[in-house]
Amino acid sequence: MKKFLAIGFLTVITMFNLFTLETKANNIHVGGEKAWTVELNLPVLNTQENLEKIQVIDELGNPVEATVRVNVTNDSQVEVIPLNLLENGVYEVKITEGLVAKNNLTTQADFSKQFTVTHTLTTENLAGTWKNKYNYKGEDLNITSSYNNGEAYLHVTALDFIYEGPNVYLLQDGFFEMSIPSFSVELSGTIKVFNENQFIVISRSGKESLFTKVSN
């Protein structure tokens, strides 16, 4: 009897048998730092050429940079770890036909699992202290901002400018707005959320400002 190599996906919640899994299976909603474990019923052949058959693809069909490696304590598991935090959107972990086990058995079909990265920035998870840089007329402003219950406190430094004091901001329906008093700078635009520790505000002109959390 001819034998084949079977595969499954492990998440924090459950494992899926890919022989019954369709490409358009129900989405799993995860954060932007998500890593995946692919579990096989046999030890996988640990070569670069073989592991290249496993990849993450974004909703436009472009491959996402990721580290694909065999688990050091269980060579029936392969870890798929995106190199960068994933933006909100739909992604797919795809395994191309022909993945090889150590005993030379191979998978006989393509397998995939679709998942959605969803993370929403709220007043509650914005609370804490963040740092970001904003380029204004060729000059970098170093901004430290602390948020608590709808109020903000800013500390801004530049080559010839320092501002420190209370402020207000707007966070609503994926839009963020905050101005710096006594200085013609307004940080406003739509939000791209990676996780609770990083987010980007994109202005109407396309300028991006990355916020990184430094403390709660």
In tens, the pLDDT along 140-189 reads: 889 999 998 878 899 888 877 788 888 888 888 888 988 877 667 778 88
Is 123-215 assigned to CATH 3.10.110.10? Answer: no
The pLDDT assigned to 118 comes to: 77
The pLDDT assigned to 68 comes to: 92
The pLDDT assigned to 105 comes to: 83
| Residues of the chain predicted below pLDDT 70 | 1-34, 182-183
In the chain, domain spans: 7-117, 123-215
Antiparallel, parallel or unpaired: β 151-157 and 162-168:
antiparallel
Q: Give the whole-angstrom CA distance, residue 184 versus residue 29.
A: 39
Q: For domain 7-117, give the CATH number.
A: 2.60.40.1220
Q: Give residue for tokens 């899994």.
A: 21
The pLDDT assigned to 33 comes to: 58
Give just the sign of the alpha carbon dihedral 128, 134, 136, 141.
Answer: positive
Whether the model clears a pTM of 0.75, i.e. scores above it, the answer is no
The pLDDT assigned to 139 comes to: 79
